[in-house]
């Protein structure tokens, strides 16, 4: 069975989804989904181990050789992403049962888990495949289920937020499809590795240039890169809390992966960064994104909105690292993918716990919660410190690598800007600390209890991971560095 691990990675959550429909009982379905997601996580660990020791794994679906059939191609980069996605999914799912109890009507719980598993399947499929069209198919699975999941939010605004996301997401997916169609026309192949071999021949044509533009814009829409981020804040704020925790930690990461995969592996480094002025463009947009989104975050009253804007800012850091197109820069981006998943997973799960107890997530509702829900609020604070980049947390590690990468290239002014951006994070995190610890509870609010164990266990698992990987960086840095190096090895 070891040989079939790449496909099992995707097929287990996929097949689990329709089976859920037959199980009927919500509790049973939850347990079943948790097992499926946990299995996927276990497989991703095995895959990463295998890739780190013995290199790229290629799996031919249907037994057909690569450019004719579809190939799953697991290298260090996707193995790392598979680990992040399935790991976060499992931890978040652990808290799902308690959280949706108060947010989603009973008769829809089974559908919720089915859509959750389908969304997971979609993301894993996008990451695992080595075929450009297969990416699109799984992108559709993950997007459709995401729209439905977001629309399940308690408020009516959730429908509108989901609709906006649907329109933007569909445009993004269509652009990606147009781009894939154009490169297929110029090369006659859909396999990514094969594309990377055949594209340089036709790289100087206008068709390939148009294809590149469509793919990049499409991916950036999905990525919520500034200025294409407008769908994200509402979608994150109005979605059910569990869904926010899951997506904030994984969905944009998968889009960043696609960006890296298409620019570095498919189109190739020399085309992406020499023929097209991607470096300056992305560097500028990344920086503006960091400042614009962090500033917006400061002015939000709704805490979910606040952290949604902070997510857009964090995407900015990843884009800056990416735009350097050096091994260290890419390492910083990949590290931040992993680290940001840990921080935002923890923070949004903690917010889910607050909503479970308080019912509302305006800044005012947090007043005095530092005493009433000490463990949950402590988690938010540690997550916030990690967002800022305080030493001994994972946030420090990725910022450190980003700064090193910038200084290595002599981009001193940008390095200073990055540090200033972190100061903005201090401001918005402080607003939460202030509300939770230094303000008396509102007079009319009733006292609340600490969150139940089903929340605390996953939240603190992630928080401990935040600290552990902030101190012992061997695993994450080693994998990220190896992945970055392998990308440069292939494309140079």
**Contact residues for another protein, defined by CB under 8 A:** 1, 4, 7, 11, 14-15, 17-19, 21-22, 59-64, 67-70, 107-108, 111-112, 114-115, 118, 121, 125, 131, 133-134, 137-138, 140-141, 144-145, 147-148, 151-152, 159, 178, 182, 184-190, 198, 202, 205-211, 213-214
Those residues with Cβ within 8 angstroms of residue 143's Cβ, 6 or more apart along the chain or in another chain: 122, 169, 170, 173
Classify residue 108 by its DSSP letter.
G
Tokens representing 235 are: 């979608």
**Residue for token pair 């829809």:** 108
Q: How far apart are CA 197 and CA 265, in angstroms?
A: 10
Kindly tell me which of 111 and 437 has the beta carbon lying closer to another protein: 111
183 contacts 222 by C-beta, under 8 angstroms: no
Q: How far apart are CA 178 and CA 196, in angstroms?
A: 18
What Å distances lie between residue 163 and 68, 111, 143, 218, CA to CA? 37, 19, 12, 18
User: What is the closest distance, in whole angstroms, from the C-beta atom of residue 209 to another protein in the complex?
Assistant: 7
Kindly tell me which of 262 and 411 has the beta carbon lying closer to another protein: 262
Q: How is the chain split among helix, strand and coil, in percent rounded to 5?
A: 80, 5, 15
Q: How far apart are CA 244 and CA 242, in angstroms?
A: 5
Kindly tell me which of 126 and 352 has the beta carbon lying closer to another protein: 126
Helix (H, G, I), strand (E, B) or coil at 72: strand
Kindly tell me which of 93 and 334 has the beta carbon lying closer to another protein: 93
Q: How far apart are CA 365 and CA 368, in angstroms?
A: 8
Q: How far apart are CA 311 and CA 316, in angstroms?
A: 9
Kindly tell me which of 64 and 299 has the beta carbon lying closer to another protein: 64
User: What is the closest distance, in whole angstroms, from the C-beta atom of residue 69 to another protein in the complex?
Assistant: 5
User: What is the closest distance, in whole angstroms, from the C-beta atom of residue 399 to another protein in the complex?
Assistant: 35
User: What is the closest distance, in whole angstroms, from the C-beta atom of residue 95 to another protein in the complex?
Assistant: 20
User: What is the closest distance, in whole angstroms, from the C-beta atom of residue 189 to another protein in the complex?
Assistant: 5
Kindly tell me which of 50 and 409 has the beta carbon lying closer to another protein: 50
208 contacts 183 by C-beta, under 8 angstroms: yes
User: What is the closest distance, in whole angstroms, from the C-beta atom of residue 264 to another protein in the complex?
Assistant: 22
Kindly tell me which of 86 and 145 has the beta carbon lying closer to another protein: 145
Kindly tell me which of 81 and 139 has the beta carbon lying closer to another protein: 139
483 contacts 77 by C-beta, under 8 angstroms: yes
Nearest residue to 250 via CA among 80, 399, 477, 81: 81
User: What is the closest distance, in whole angstroms, from the C-beta atom of residue 303 to another protein in the complex?
Assistant: 26
User: What is the closest distance, in whole angstroms, from the C-beta atom of residue 266 to another protein in the complex?
Assistant: 15
Reading phi first (left if > 0) and then psi (alpha if -120 to 50, else beta), residue 452 is in: beta
319 contacts 286 by C-beta, under 8 angstroms: yes
Helix (H, G, I), strand (E, B) or coil at 104: coil
Task: Name the helix (H) or strand (E) containing 59.
Answer: strand 57-60
Kindly tell me which of 4 and 371 has the beta carbon lying closer to another protein: 4
Q: 404-430 as b/e, with b when 16 or more CB fall inside 10 Å? A: ebbeeeebeebbebbeebbebbeebbe
User: What is the closest distance, in whole angstroms, from the C-beta atom of residue 167 to another protein in the complex?
Assistant: 12
User: What is the closest distance, in whole angstroms, from the C-beta atom of residue 486 to another protein in the complex?
Assistant: 24
What distance lies between CA 292 and its chain's CA centroid? 20
Kindly tell me which of 136 and 322 has the beta carbon lying closer to another protein: 136
Kindly tell me which of 10 and 429 has the beta carbon lying closer to another protein: 10
Tokens representing 257 are: 């992966």
Kindly tell me which of 226 and 338 has the beta carbon lying closer to another protein: 226
Kindly tell me which of 19 and 39 has the beta carbon lying closer to another protein: 19
What Å distances lie between residue 266 and 51, 161, 451, CA to CA? 20, 33, 46
What Å distances lie between residue 319 and 113, 155, 223, CA to CA? 32, 33, 10
Q: How far apart are CA 278 and CA 463, in angstroms?
A: 36
Peptide bond into 229 cis (omega under 30): no
User: What is the closest distance, in whole angstroms, from the C-beta atom of residue 180 to another protein in the complex?
Assistant: 12
User: What is the closest distance, in whole angstroms, from the C-beta atom of residue 111 to another protein in the complex?
Assistant: 4
User: What is the closest distance, in whole angstroms, from the C-beta atom of residue 5 to another protein in the complex?
Assistant: 11
């Amino acid at each position: 069975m070891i040989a079939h691990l790449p496909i099992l990675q995707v097929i287990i959550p996929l097949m689990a989804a329709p089976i859920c429909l037959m199980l009927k009982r919500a509790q049973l379905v939850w347990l079943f989904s948790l097992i499926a997601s946990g299995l996927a996580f276990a497989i991703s660990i095995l895959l990463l181990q295998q890739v780190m020791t013995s290199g790229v794994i290629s799996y031919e679906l249907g037994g057909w050789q690569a450019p004719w059939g579809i190939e799953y191609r697991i290298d260090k980069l996707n193995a790392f992403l598979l680990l992040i996605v399935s790991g976060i999914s499992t931890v978040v799912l652990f808290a799902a049962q308690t959280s949706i109890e108060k947010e989603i009507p009973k008769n829809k719980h089974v559908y919720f888990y089915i859509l959750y598993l389908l969304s997971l399947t979609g993301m894993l499929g996008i990451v695992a495949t080595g075929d450009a069209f297969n990416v699109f198919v799984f992108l559709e699975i993950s997007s459709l289920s995401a729209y439905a999941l977001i629309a399940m939010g308690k408020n009516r605004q959730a429908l509108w937020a989901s609709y906006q996301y649907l329109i933007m997401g569909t445009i993004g997916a269509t652009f990606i499809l147009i781009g894939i169609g154009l490169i297929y026309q110029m090369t006659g192949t859909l396999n990514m590795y094969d594309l990377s071999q055949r594209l340089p021949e036709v790289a100087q044509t206008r068709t390939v240039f148009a294809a590149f533009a469509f793919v990049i814009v499409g991916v950036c829409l999905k990525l919520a890169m500034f200025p294409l981020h407008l769908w994200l804040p509402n979608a994150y704020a109005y979605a059910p809390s569990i869904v926010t925790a899951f997506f904030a930690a994984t969905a944009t990461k998968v889009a960043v992966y696609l960006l890296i995969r298409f620019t570095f592996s498919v189109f190739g480094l020399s085309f992406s960064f020499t023929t097209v002025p991607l470096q300056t463009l992305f560097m500028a947009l990344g920086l503006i994104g960091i400042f614009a989104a962090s500033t917006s975050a400061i002015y939000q009253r709704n805490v979910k909105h606040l952290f949604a804007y902070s997510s857009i800012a964090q995407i900015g850091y990843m884009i800056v690292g990416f735009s350097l197109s050096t091994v260290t820069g890419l390492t910083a981006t990949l590290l931040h993918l992993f680290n940001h998943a840990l921080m935002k997973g923890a923070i949004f799960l903690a917010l889910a716990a607050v909503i479970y107890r308080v019912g509302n997530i305006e800044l005012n509702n947090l007043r005095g919660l530092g005493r009433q829900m000490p463990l949950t609020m402590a988690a938010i604070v540690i997550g916030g410190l990690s967002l800022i980049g305080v030493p001994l947390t994972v946030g420090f590690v990725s910022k450190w690598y980003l700064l090193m990468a910038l200084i290595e290239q002599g981009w001193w002014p940008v390095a200073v800007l990055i540090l200033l951006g972190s100061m903005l994070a201090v401001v918005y995190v402080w607003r939460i600390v202030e509300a939770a610890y230094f303000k008396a509870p509102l007079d009319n609010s009733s006292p609340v209890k600490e969150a139940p164990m089903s929340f605390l266990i996953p939240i603190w698992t992630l928080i401990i991971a935040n600290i552990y990987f902030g101190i012992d960086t061997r695993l994450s840095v080693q994998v990220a560095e190896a992945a970055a190096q392998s990308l440069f090895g292939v494309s140079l």
